[in-house]
Amino acid sequence: MIGKALAKKIRAGERVYGTCTVSPTPVWVNAIATARPDFVFIDTEHNTLDRSQVGWMCQTYSALGIVPIVRIPSPDPFLATSTLDDGAMGIVAPYIETVAQVDGLRGAAKHRPLKGARLKERLEGKSVSTEIDAYINKHNADNVLIINIESQPAIDALDDLLDAPEVDGVLIGPHDLSCNLGIPEQYDAPEFLAAVQTIFDKAREHERGAGMHFWGGVDQQVRFLEMGCNFMIHSADLLLVRDHLTSELNAIRARMGDLPQGEGGPSLTI
Amino acid sequence: MIGKALAKKIRAGERVYGTCTVSPTPVWVNAIATARPDFVFIDTEHNTLDRSQVGWMCQTYSALGIVPIVRIPSPDPFLATSTLDDGAMGIVAPYIETVAQVDGLRGAAKHRPLKGARLKERLEGKSVSTEIDAYINKHNADNVLIINIESQPAIDALDDLLDAPEVDGVLIGPHDLSCNLGIPEQYDAPEFLAAVQTIFDKAREHERGAGMHFWGGVDQQVRFLEMGCNFMIHSADLLLVRDHLTSELNAIRARMGDLPQGEGGPSLTI
Amino acid sequence: MIGKALAKKIRAGERVYGTCTVSPTPVWVNAIATARPDFVFIDTEHNTLDRSQVGWMCQTYSALGIVPIVRIPSPDPFLATSTLDDGAMGIVAPYIETVAQVDGLRGAAKHRPLKGARLKERLEGKSVSTEIDAYINKHNADNVLIINIESQPAIDALDDLLDAPEVDGVLIGPHDLSCNLGIPEQYDAPEFLAAVQTIFDKAREHERGAGMHFWGGVDQQVRFLEMGCNFMIHSADLLLVRDHLTSELNAIRARMGDLPQGEGGPSLTI
Amino acid sequence: MIGKALAKKIRAGERVYGTCTVSPTPVWVNAIATARPDFVFIDTEHNTLDRSQVGWMCQTYSALGIVPIVRIPSPDPFLATSTLDDGAMGIVAPYIETVAQVDGLRGAAKHRPLKGARLKERLEGKSVSTEIDAYINKHNADNVLIINIESQPAIDALDDLLDAPEVDGVLIGPHDLSCNLGIPEQYDAPEFLAAVQTIFDKAREHERGAGMHFWGGVDQQVRFLEMGCNFMIHSADLLLVRDHLTSELNAIRARMGDLPQGEGGPSLTI
Amino acid sequence: MIGKALAKKIRAGERVYGTCTVSPTPVWVNAIATARPDFVFIDTEHNTLDRSQVGWMCQTYSALGIVPIVRIPSPDPFLATSTLDDGAMGIVAPYIETVAQVDGLRGAAKHRPLKGARLKERLEGKSVSTEIDAYINKHNADNVLIINIESQPAIDALDDLLDAPEVDGVLIGPHDLSCNLGIPEQYDAPEFLAAVQTIFDKAREHERGAGMHFWGGVDQQVRFLEMGCNFMIHSADLLLVRDHLTSELNAIRARMGDLPQGEGGPSLTI
Amino acid sequence: MIGKALAKKIRAGERVYGTCTVSPTPVWVNAIATARPDFVFIDTEHNTLDRSQVGWMCQTYSALGIVPIVRIPSPDPFLATSTLDDGAMGIVAPYIETVAQVDGLRGAAKHRPLKGARLKERLEGKSVSTEIDAYINKHNADNVLIINIESQPAIDALDDLLDAPEVDGVLIGPHDLSCNLGIPEQYDAPEFLAAVQTIFDKAREHERGAGMHFWGGVDQQVRFLEMGCNFMIHSADLLLVRDHLTSELNAIRARMGDLPQGEGGPSLTI
């Protein structure tokens, strides 16, 4: 029940630490596990992973006691359910803004196998039977539900979005949020930090996890943790490689007088 | 003809820089390309890559002008040839110690499509015809052949191994070499450094690339370059992620008083 | 035209037998074929299969004369169509409850390449031309359409759902149905059996296949067949392995006094 | 910026040439590149390709300077975005008929990372800030958006569909169009040619690319080009193989008196 | 150190139980784990598994505490080593008959990273240094080495083959053995059973695991255990499915009067 | 028994026709099947195919009644056997020159499961028992063995190579043969044609299939058939696409005045 334990922790305000990983090769798991993360964030929104690759990653991480949490490409309830069936123990739904989106997801993550009209009744608070209530609670106990908050409209609606008790936490997507606020990639701007603070505060008021996926240095990450973040996704394997490889290779070349001219490769989206 | 150009450079003593990459996901290429390496080292000896994954990696890197060099799991001439057919522009043959091994590889990398008795004649210096000589030289012009030197017996035989003009360079595997010398993982030990110096010196005497795959810091890498290394494989994506993730996550946790007890994950072989 | 023949059989009340298979390995096909099923049920709703794996399974089974029927993860018409293009000869749409869902699916399975406004007209009974009518009928002749009936609301709507002549059969998902009825996994409960009987009866009244996917023993399966089931999916490779391996291994261990303590692995959803 | 350059060309009325390719094997790229196409059309609507296979194809073609344009199976904005993230430089959306469909796609292809309410405002012409306007334009500059026009209703709505400035071109799907017109596969019928002419004319009036995917002989293709087509997808690897293999093998067999009796294999949909 | 613990057990004469699994799908692991095997036997000699599929299976099973043991297609030391690098904790080498074969394998499984001349010295009993001895022992501690005994010549040579202390156990391949003895598939024949007894006895005399891969009923398996087998591979997922599906489906059909005529599918080799 | 039937035909001098296919996508099979080949030649020597992809191709083609014959990358008996286990019905062994190579292969293809010393005896003509003789003959009845003859030394040894009754046919690799003769790619040269004639004649004298893999036009192919070829591999999907796409696209562009300058893509090896 490591999914359940993680959900309980972030609701209680304890801090958990993870990283984003998108490399679908078996031995990679050992490299990530060395850092002893509490969970991994497998992002299928921006990364080219096949269903079976995600399934294997989830199975292996969960067997190692590291909670596999998968971001799906769209807030589609069917996709959330099949991803959980494949072995994910948590779902991050991208760019959530409306209660209707949350309703689809909380059904998918926490009330299966109910669907259709019966699920609608249950989401409205009607019970089928005490037996089925117990069954569903047990069946879905290990599923974590996280929603991405990445816009001003989502911040404005956050109290309503967190009305749903099934949402275990929120996750800030800083790139999208900064663009939505009109200050692209300005992660130190006061408006950006204020928006982050509001999201963290509301999450904690509602006793949900306050999450951030960021790729900054130690000081920046500590700042977010001190602002209330307790579900920290530190960087991504893809970004760690890009940034450290570039910086180290350039440092070595510079020492030897071999620095190449011009600019590097294409940009990457997270 | 980027393979040919790279071979020419390392024979001439110019320095080239690369990294080891083992992550078979399309978007990863962009992260590596950002660092503008001259080549990538795709190690299939210690890493779980399918043939089609290696083929795609090779095709994409070579299209980007980054020379894909693949280490094959054994010094098997058939494997060398099929890997070149799949798109590799260079082969690293692991743990070479004898002239017979080199003979198999130089045939596979530089004299295809000749095989069997005819190839044997050609390796012994007999020409089939001037027409076929020209044809074969053109057909194999872009293929780079590198041999791993990882033992005292290989050092002792190095002059003979480099008699073959087809060998474009040598590559030190420091882990295996240190074990072979009886000083496992002691990369600063005088005996280790002396062995490295001997290999670099002999490679340069024979006007071949002097290669090192190492995962040290800038100072260590510069030391090897100053010792004569001119084919530098800086670290590996797998190791960069493992080491920087562990170090950064621990630094963040330490600042927050959240450092976990005990040790990290399983070891990794390069 | 093995898809067409199967649809004709189940509409006529003849019995056909299949199994669920989710193992994407080429030689597996031989193991399944040994049992001479009329069709296979490839469930991508709950199982981690890539598109190309499903495509290969479909191509191989259909070449062997075994009809490949695929359950898609959601009742999405686009997914139904692309799955048929990949080689499936039948679609099982999960959890159907409304006529609107059926309309999307019957268009996708039986009226391609018409789409959009023109398809809407055709579903309403308007003909484009006799030529195009003949063309479409021929083009889609081998496609089987099955809808999953897994809830009381679906039973209540069943006459309407079967108004669409394109639906070749219904399939009971007993796990979801039992939960929907408030009696989870109580497959011998009178309410459950009554619901099953109703579904079978209505299907046969409308001259459609009466399907059941169940993993019971011979007696249980015969009971369903005697109740009117004529589209029988007997168990699944995954379940046959789990149950027989556990039971046989435990029997052997028990005989040797080696039975392990504690409980077995995680649960599986079908 | 090869995507941007291609979009600029087809808007300006210059002709570009490509082919459809669906074979996911690395060395295949070399066969296609030999013909020096300006772009490739990777059709995932009718072909069994995994996400990672499409990603590798896109990365390799774009590295070679050949624009990878992917047809997605449905006009789903989330799928358009994730396909672009995977490396596609252009999206073909199948069977477009309504302005609402176009709105979803132009947001996905040209205004990311904006989503939700903010995107809706932007699509309605409201600016978040000049800074974010510049950022978004740069971020999406290389993305090409093409819509499939395959029906009379789409032709009727074409002026409205092309109101959106983000649509870089239209693409005729002749098979679907001929069926929609009630004249299946009658590609020389006057009604068919008239519909094609209308689409080309409207596309050029609006200064967008006029596209056709057809598998005809040189004369047929030249006819379409002379009618105004300037975005020509010539056949498909799958069709070239089927047709030339059948024709050549039959010619050889006929010469030897070995022609087999009966008919060939199953039909293929493009 | 679950590999080490398993090797210790079988050397000590304790019984361990496993099964053969060849289905490369993530969720399958849960079905196998339900039976709580001590180890799994992943056979790549007769089954179509890609390197990455085997790698994922190994990583997941070992994370679950179930020792992954892989049969490689040939007794190739390079293949043994790379399979261990991919995550296997044990190697079964097929059809071993000579001491030279064993020498290649014990080097590959228990003395890496030594290779070549240095390894030869070590296999002959020469020590490089106490430091390197300790290093190598630790590095290879978790690797299990099993050799397939499948012929009369192997039985005749068994004492010599077991001279090598690195061999942790022997495994009878009953199909090959019965053919080698001239009594194909006669698993109850006295000659067959006598050969089995000899192999078990010799293995236990040398204090190594006495292994059998067989697909019989409980009585047959108990017989082998009582004869001394203590490394029992009970059947295979492929065989369990084939046999139980065929038998159950036929039983059901027979009850309904629907038994098909003729024979089943192609044969399967284990 | 379609493999057995094909072997019987080519031994009897009847003509069979196939093509080379290297595209691992399920729907591709339909394109190839349209041409009604007797067999397909799946070349894994020069093409990047994973083991599971080859397995699926073999399973699907054999289910369609088209004999799948796989060229393995080296004349390795273990590889021949595992490829047959994966579903191939025939093996083409590349570049055969010696009787020792043939001995390895005829054991692997026609005498399994015998191996080692027992196999050696059997290859020397000793029988284990009449029972095992019958068993082995039945077990291997459907396996076709073809050897590539691609050199003068092989021609010189051909009578000896064909002494082995297990060899069902020879296959000329014209590219390698022309290079070996010192006349690269001169497929109309008298020396080349004389060598081809010798090979065909010897094959037919020994009552074995006389095979040629060539990518010429109808006239060239007919010439080879008239010279005695009766196992004709006509071109390859890869080559058909490259050549016809280039030629058609250039013809269209030329008509429009749009022919690009310069040369096409990289070369391809068959």
Cα–Cα dist E57/E42, whole Å: 8
Examine the pLDDT at F128 and tell me if it is beyond 80: no
Cα–Cα dist C33/C170, whole Å: 24
The pLDDT value recorded for residue A267 is 60
Cα–Cα dist E244/E241, whole Å: 5
The 10s digit of each residue's pLDDT in C185-227 is 999 999 999 999 999 999 999 999 999 999 999 999 999 999 9
Nearest-CA neighbor of B43 among B142, B146, B141?
B146
Beta strands C209-214 and C231-236, pairing class: parallel
Residue B72 CA, chain-centre distance (Å), reads 10
Give Cα separations from D43 to D50, D57, D58, D70, D234 (angstroms). 12, 12, 12, 6, 13
What is the overall mean pLDDT for chain C? 95
Examine the pLDDT at D12 and tell me if it is beyond 60: yes
F50 vs B: CB within 8 A = yes
Please tell me which residue of chain D has the smallest CA distance to C116. D97
Nearest-CA neighbor of B25 among F65, D56, F18, A68?
D56
pLDDT band at residue D1, thresholds of 50, 70 and 90? confident
Question: CB C25 to CB E24 under 8 A?
Answer: yes
Q: What is the percent of chain D with per-residue pLDDT over 90, rounded to a whole number?
A: 94
Question: CB C25 to CB F86 under 8 A?
Answer: no
Report angle CA D16, D22, D25 to the nearest 5 degrees: 115
The DSSP secondary-structure symbol of D199 reads H
Per-residue pLDDT tens, chain A, 270 aa: give them: 799 999 999 999 999 999 999 999 999 999 999 999 999 999 999 999 999 999 999 999 999 999 999 999 999 999 999 999 999 999 999 999 999 999 999 999 999 999 999 999 999 999 878 999 999 999 999 999 999 999 999 999 999 999 999 999 999 999 999 999 999 999 999 999 999 999 999 999 999 999 999 999 999 999 999 999 999 999 999 999 999 999 999 999 999 999 887 755 556 655
Name the neighbours of D, counting chains with at least 3 Cβ pairs within 8 A: A, B, C, F
Q: Which residues contact B35 (CB under 8 A, 6 or more apart)?
A: A242, A245, A246, A249, A250, A264, A265, B19
Number of other residues whose CB lies within 10 A of the CB of residue D187: 18
Nearest-CA neighbor of D215 among D191, D233, D189?
D233
Chain B: closest CA distance from residue F130 (Å): 38
Nearest-CA neighbor of B84 among B108, B111, B107?
B108
Name the neighbours of C, counting chains with at least 3 Cβ pairs within 8 A: A, D, E, F
The pLDDT value recorded for residue A268 is 62
- Give F117: exposed, middle or buried? Use CB within 10 Å, 0-12, 13-18, 19+: middle
Residue to mutate among F78, F81, F129, F137, with most E CBs inside 10 A, is F78
Residue to mutate among C25, C42, C56, with most F CBs inside 10 A, is C56
The 10s digit of each residue's pLDDT in F15-67 is 999 999 999 999 999 999 999 999 999 999 999 999 999 999 999 999 999 99
Within 8 A of C35 by CB-CB distance, chain E residues are 242, 245-246, 249-250, 264-265
Examine the pLDDT at C269 and tell me if it is beyond 70: no
Residue to mutate among B23, B57, B60, with most D CBs inside 10 A, is B60
Scan residues 81-110 of A and list those with Cβ closer than 8 Å to D.
95, 97
Q: Which residues contact E126 (CB under 8 A, 6 or more apart)?
A: none
Q: Residue A37: how many CA atoms within 13 Å on its side-chain side?
A: 32
Q: Which residues contact F134 (CB under 8 A, 6 or more apart)?
A: none
What is the overall mean pLDDT for chain B? 95
Please state the rounded mean pLDDT for residues F207-226: 97
F128 vs B: CB within 8 A = no
F114-122 LR contacts (CB < 8 Å, sep 24+): F114/E179, F114/E180, F115/E95, F115/E97, F115/E150, F115/E151, F115/E176, F116/E95, F116/E97, F116/E151, F116/E153, F116/E154, F117/E97, F117/E151, F117/E153, F118/E151, F118/E152, F118/E153, F118/E180
Chain A: closest CA distance from residue E160 (Å): 36
Chain C: closest CA distance from residue F199 (Å): 36
Please state the rounded mean pLDDT for residues F220-248: 98
Please give the structure tokens belonging to residue F8.
């019987």
Q: Do chains D and C touch (3 or more CB pairs under 8 A)?
A: yes
Place of tokens 């014209």: F174
Please tell me which residue of chain C has the smallest CA distance to F65. C63
Examine the pLDDT at D266 and tell me if it is beyond 70: no
Cα–Cα dist B20/E235, whole Å: 41
Cα–Cα dist F97/F157, whole Å: 7
Q: What is the percent of chain E with per-residue pLDDT over 90, rounded to a whole number?
A: 94
pTM of the model: 0.97
The 10s digit of each residue's pLDDT in D158-197 is 999 999 999 999 999 999 999 999 999 999 999 999 999 9
Q: Do chains F and C touch (3 or more CB pairs under 8 A)?
A: yes
Question: CB F60 to CB C59 under 8 A?
Answer: yes
* 3-state class (DSSP) for residue D173: coil
Decide if the complex's ipTM is over 0.90. yes
Cα–Cα dist F267/D34, whole Å: 8
Place of tokens 């022919």: F259
Secondary-structure percent of chain F, ordered helix, strand, coil, rounded to 5: 50, 15, 35
Number of other residues whose CB lies within 10 A of the CB of residue A35: 25
The minimal CB distance from A60 to the residues E27, E52, E63 is found for E63
Examine the pLDDT at B265 and tell me if it is beyond 60: no
Please state the rounded mean pLDDT for residues D200-204: 98
Task: Find the radius of gyration of the CA atoms of chain E.
Answer: 19
Cα–Cα dist D44/A112, whole Å: 31
Q: How many CB pairs under 8 A join E and F?
A: 66
Residue to mutate among E32, E56, E58, E84, with most A CBs inside 10 A, is E56
The DSSP secondary-structure symbol of E47 reads S
Cα–Cα dist B187/E80, whole Å: 28
Place of tokens 């779980």: B48
Cα–Cα dist B132/F7, whole Å: 36
For residue F206, the surrounding DSSP H or E stretch is: none
Examine the pLDDT at D151 and tell me if it is beyond 60: yes
Examine the pLDDT at E266 and tell me if it is beyond 70: no
Examine the pLDDT at B266 and tell me if it is beyond 90: no
Please state the rounded mean pLDDT for residues F150-155: 97
pLDDT band at residue B129, thresholds of 50, 70 and 90? confident
| DSSP output for D59-112 | HHHHHTT-EEEEE-SS--HHHHHHHHHTT-SEEEESS---HHHHHHHHHHHHST
